[in-house]
Amino acid sequence: MSTVGAGVRELRIHAGREYRVFYITRFTEGVFVVHASEKRTRRTPPADIAIARRRLRELTRPRALA
């Protein structure tokens, strides 16, 4: 999902309610979920995108310094 960051993908889950999960797989340690939320509208709320961006930044920062 390019609006969150490079390499971030979106998984949509249909289980009675609708859910979105943003995750990234480019690290050797495994799959990292950066944000998950209940889907209430067709568009992803800006607050959810901001949370995912912040978490992605936090996740990649230590790796860039190492």
The parent domain of residue 34 ranges over 8-65
| Residue 3 within a domain | no
| Residue 47 within a domain | yes
Contacts of 3 (CB under 8 A, 6+ apart): 44, 49
Amino acid at 1: M
| Residue 18 within a domain | yes
Alpha-carbon distance of 21 to 13, in angstroms, equals 8
| Residue 43 within a domain | yes
pLDDT at 64: 57
| Residue 35 within a domain | yes
The pTM of the whole model exceeds 0.85: no
| Residue 2 within a domain | no
Domain count of the fold of the chain: 1
| Residue 1 within a domain | no
* pLDDT tens, position by position, 6-58: 788 899 999 888 999 999 888 878 889 999 999 888 888 899 999 999 999 88
* pLDDT tens, position by position, 33-46: 999 999 888 888 89
